[in-house]
């Protein structure tokens, strides 16, 4: 009996990590049809935001330091949402309706984000800031001219080259002058240490078993995010607009809904959720430039199995996959079935897969088999949907 309770809790806790990671992707993939391979990197950025917040709180000492996590969650959300907004405005907006190009472009962005985290230093930030200021500021002023239409093409090119040139030279000069202060990478390629606050370490005992506080926190966080998303999508004006744009973009545009803004908001929200997931995973493992890679595959699996665009499907899929990985990987399933003699060959088969590596193999095989029966996931989208 206690085995079942433990298995239940562990399955939910693994599932809640998957759920947090997959909520954001379910929104961007489900509501917008955008395959975002940079989702893992957005999680990673949320984790790094948590690291920065932790470092800001560290000198404040013990009582305040324990509450840094409550500030870290909104900060991670905002950081990831801003990056997602940038991504949407800069790259994905041009590629709607073209899933293959979106896939490649976002994969490229994921590589850029990973290297950015490894090598970002003040010099780079200053250079980028200068460039944005010069280019977009210059564009802003030039657009006000009377002969804008005529000089548009070469004005852009000239501004681009000029801003790149000036910002690059300025940042290199400053780097050479100031030396290590400006050129030292903020994070470097190595992993960073994010320590959970004291009240999240350890756990409370339940009989023979100890329930880790960190896991409970993640489950609660997942439920809260789920609730907030549900309320936002179904009870607010912007949620209504998002849903209408998903169902029929052109009709919504006719009705006066600003589809551009809706797209940007949806993508930013999905990315922000990825940032919150990143904050959660700092409680479980290490944070480094490659952290996102560990989660991206599982996240896509959850979204695909759950049915694209369906919150309930995502929840069920996350719980199911999490529970399966745990039950097979820890040998609990084999153990539970071993009491029935007839099922002995099944037990042997499951025992072979009862390690962490092999359990993933079996789970993926089961997912593939499941997708053969139900290709659109647990809850396929109903009705006719106009292709973008």
Binding pattern to another protein, positions 172-201, x when CB under 8 A? x---x-----------xxxx-x-xx----x
386 binds another protein (CB under 8 A): no
Q: Which stretch binds another protein (CB under 8 A): 20-28, 39-47, 75-83, 206-214?
A: 206-214
Which residue, among 98, 71, 41, 34, has the nearest Cα to 292 in the 3D structure?
41
94 binds another protein (CB under 8 A): yes
- Residue 10 vs 26, nearer CB to another protein: 10
Structure tokens, 192: 């960073």
95 binds another protein (CB under 8 A): yes
- Residue 264 vs 283, nearer CB to another protein: 283
Binding test (CB under 8 A) with another protein, winner from 71, 120, 253, 376: 253
289 binds another protein (CB under 8 A): yes
330 binds another protein (CB under 8 A): yes
- Backbone φ, ψ for residue 211 (5° rounding): -90, 115
d(CA 200, CA 179): 40
- Residue 16 vs 28, nearer CB to another protein: 16
Binding test (CB under 8 A) with another protein, winner from 74, 331, 336, 351: 331
- DSSP 8-state code for residue 187: S
Binding test (CB under 8 A) with another protein, winner from 66, 248, 286, 351: 286
Residue 240 C-beta: closest distance to another protein, Å: 20
How many of the other CB atoms lie within 10 Å of CB of 188? 15
338 binds another protein (CB under 8 A): no
Contact between 37 and 110 (Cβ < 8 Å): yes
Which residue, among 78, 65, 24, has the nearest Cα to 232 in the 3D structure?
24
Which residue, among 368, 316, 288, 284, has the nearest Cα to 118 in the 3D structure?
288
Which residue, among 257, 273, 231, has the nearest Cα to 22 in the 3D structure?
273
Burial of residue 382 (CB within 10 Å: 0-12, 13-18, 19+) is exposed
Structure tokens, 326: 């745990």
130 binds another protein (CB under 8 A): no
- Residue 214 vs 316, nearer CB to another protein: 214
Burial of residue 156 (CB within 10 Å: 0-12, 13-18, 19+) is middle
Q: Which stretch binds another protein (CB under 8 A): 64-72, 303-311, 326-334, 365-373?
A: 326-334
Count of residues of this chain found to bind another protein when the rule CB under 8 A is applied: 57
Q: Which stretch binds another protein (CB under 8 A): 130-138, 266-274, 282-290, 342-350?
A: 282-290
Binding test (CB under 8 A) with another protein, winner from 359, 362, 367, 377: 359
- Backbone φ, ψ for residue 212 (5° rounding): -70, 135
- Residue 6 vs 225, nearer CB to another protein: 6
325 binds another protein (CB under 8 A): yes
Residue 356 C-beta: closest distance to another protein, Å: 5
Binding test (CB under 8 A) with another protein, winner from 82, 155, 164, 182: 164
Contact between 42 and 271 (Cβ < 8 Å): yes
Residue 285 C-beta: closest distance to another protein, Å: 3
Q: Cα separations (Å) of 171 from 157, 166, 167, 200?
A: 21, 9, 6, 42
Binding test (CB under 8 A) with another protein, winner from 1, 100, 177, 205: 205
C-beta pairs of 167-171 under 8 Å, 24+ apart in sequence:
167/127, 167/128, 167/130, 167/131, 167/134, 168/127, 170/126, 170/127, 170/130, 171/123, 171/124, 171/126, 171/127, 171/130
d(CA 103, CA 92): 10
Structure tokens, 319: 């719980």
Site residues for another protein per CB under 8 A: 6-7, 10, 13-14, 17, 93-95, 118, 164, 168, 172, 176, 188-191, 193, 195-196, 201-203, 205, 208-210, 212-215, 253, 259-260, 281, 283-286, 288-290, 293-294, 325-326, 329-332, 335, 355-357, 359-360
């Amino acid at each position: 009996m206690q085995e079942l309770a433990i298995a239940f809790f562990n399955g939910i806790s693994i599932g809640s990590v998957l759920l947090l990671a997959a909520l954001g992707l379910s929104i961007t993939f489900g509501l917008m049809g955008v395959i975002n391979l940079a989702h893992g990197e957005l999680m990673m950025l949320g984790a790094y935001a948590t690291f920065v917040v932790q470092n800001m709180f560290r000198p404040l000492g013990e009582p305040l330091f324990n509450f840094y996590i409550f500030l870290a969650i909104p900060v991670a959300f905002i950081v990831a949402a801003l990056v997602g907004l940038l991504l949407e405005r800069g790259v994905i907006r041009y590629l709607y309706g073209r899933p293959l190009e979106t896939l490649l472009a976002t994969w490229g962005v994921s590589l850029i984000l990973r290297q950015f985290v490894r090598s970002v230093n003040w010099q780079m930030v200053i250079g980028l800031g200068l460039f944005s200021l010069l280019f977009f500021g210059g564009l802003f002023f030039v657009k006000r001219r009377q002969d804008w239409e005529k000089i548009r093409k070469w004005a852009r090119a000239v501004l681009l080259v000029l801003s790149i040139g000036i910002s690059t030279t300025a940042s290199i000069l400053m780097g050479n002058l100031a030396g290590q202060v400006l050129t030292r990478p903020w994070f470097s390629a190595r992993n960073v240490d994010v320590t959970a606050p004291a009240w999240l370490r350890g756990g409370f005992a339940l009989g023979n078993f100890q329930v880790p506080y960190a896991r409970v926190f993640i489950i609660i966080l997942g439920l809260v995010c789920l609730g907030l998303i549900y309320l936002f999508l179904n009870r607010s004006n912007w949620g209504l607009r998002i849903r209408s744009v998903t169902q029929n973009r052109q009709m919504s545009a006719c009705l006066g809904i600003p589809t551009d803004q809706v797209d940007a908001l949806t993508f930013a929200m999905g990315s922000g959720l990825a940032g919150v997931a990143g904050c959660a995973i700092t409680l479980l493992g290490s944070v480094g430039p490659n952290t996102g890679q560990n989660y991206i595959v599982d996240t896509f699996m959850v979204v695909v199995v759950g049915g694209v665009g369906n919150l309930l499907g995502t929840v069920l899929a996350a719980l199911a996959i999490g529970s399966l990985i745990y039950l097979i990987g820890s040998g609990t399933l084999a153990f539970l079935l071993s009491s029935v003699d007839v099922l002995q060959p099944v037990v042997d088969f499951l025992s072979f897969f009862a390690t962490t590596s092999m359990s993933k193999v079996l789970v993926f095989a089961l997912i593939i088999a499941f997708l053969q029966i139900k290709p659109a996931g647990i809850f396929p989208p109903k009705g006719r949907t106009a292709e973008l």
